[in-house]
Amino acid sequence: MRYLDRSQPLALVVLRLVLGSIMIAHGRSKVFGGMAHAVQFVSSLGLPGWMAYLSAYTEFFGGILIILGLFTRVVALGIVIDMLVAIGKVHWKKGLVGPGASEFPLSLAAISFALIFFGAGSIAIDAIRRGGGGAGKKSL
């Protein structure tokens, strides 16, 4: 089982790549040409229109940062909030499973939640910024 423990950094990379790719895909259409529609949709939910910008930028640029492993915990918190709002305002009433249901955003929120507590892992820019931080780091 120690082998699995040593593979944790790889597992965190996989979580970051999956989450980041999905978030980029969802934010890209909003940031590059679909912002007016996003503002209209968010406003129709009874939320301020400016929240569409916050959501789109969190999804697109946050997805990039998650893949890089940069500011991972802060960005993951933003994604959790984004997904909880999406679940509460759009997906909850459609149930857990089915078209437009909450299972997909709930899964993204769960991955983000895990990244808040585990961080990006040792294969990330965050690890480089804090000086490696892994088991191989020598103390003085």
Q: Is the pTM of this model over 0.85?
A: yes
Q: In this structure, which amino acid lies at residue 100?
A: G
Q: Determine the pLDDT at residue 7.
A: 87
Task: Output 134 or 39, whichever has higher pLDDT.
Answer: 39
Encode pLDDT of 52-105 as tens digits: 999 999 999 999 999 999 999 999 999 999 999 999 999 999 999 999 899 999
Q: Determine the pLDDT at residue 135.
A: 45
Token pair listed for 137: 């780091």
User: How far is Cα 132 from Cα 45, in angstroms, rounded to an integer?
Assistant: 44
User: How far is Cα 74 from Cα 100, in angstroms, rounded to an integer?
Assistant: 27
Query: Could you tell me the end-to-end alpha-carbon distance of the chain, in angstroms, rounded to an integer?
Result: 31
Q: Determine the pLDDT at residue 137.
A: 43
Mean pLDDT computed over every residue of the chain: 91
CB distance 63 to 111 below 8 Å: no
User: How far is Cα 106 from Cα 26, in angstroms, rounded to an integer?
Assistant: 15
Report the residue count for the chain: 140
Q: Determine the pLDDT at residue 133.
A: 53
Q: Determine the pLDDT at residue 60.
A: 98
DSSP, res 71: S
C-alpha distances out from residue 4 to 7, 10, 123, 126, Å = 5, 10, 16, 22
